[in-house]
Amino acid sequence: MLWLEQGLYLRIEALAHGPRPLLLSRGFTPQTAYHALGCFNPSETSDADSILSNDRDEIGFICNRHLRTVFLDASNTVFRVKMLESPERLPVLSAAPHGQIVAIARSV
């Protein structure tokens, strides 16, 4: 059984030698955090695919190796959130009790 945290937002980090398709040419952008709508784990592989809605409103099954966490916000239901900073400069965000968002310093 897979559990998916409610309000999980992920960003795309296309790997040079990662699995196909090339997501940045398929309606996804690195400056957007995508709401994870679900998760699928085919029995024949150890990979898990997150279900995301891209910038063209298409549903895609994205391999976990292309994804990085951005933040948790269980009260947020929008499909996509534009990130104002580059992913490397963003603080790591975590949901606190009562839906508040708290920034935590990024460890490098």
> Using CB atoms within 10 A of its CB, is residue 25 exposed (0-12), middle (13-18) or buried (19+)?
exposed
Taking the complete model, does pTM exceed 0.75, yes or no?
Answer: no
- Pick the closest to residue 70 from 98, 14, 96, 32 (CA basis): 32
Does the pLDDT at position 108 exceed 50?
Answer: no
What's the CA gap between 91 and 29, in Å, rounded? Answer: 19
> Quick one: pLDDT at residue 88?
60
Cis-peptide into 21, omega within 30 deg: yes
Q: What are phi and psi of 88, to 5 degrees?
A: -70, -25
pLDDT band at 95 (very low <50, low <70, confident <90, very high): very low
Question: Residues 10-64: pLDDT tens digits?
Answer: 998 877 776 666 777 788 988 899 999 998 887 777 788 899 999 999 998 888 8
> Quick one: pLDDT at residue 102?
45
What phi-psi label fits residue 66: left (phi over 0), alpha (psi between -120 and 50 degrees) or beta? alpha
> Quick one: pLDDT at residue 107?
39
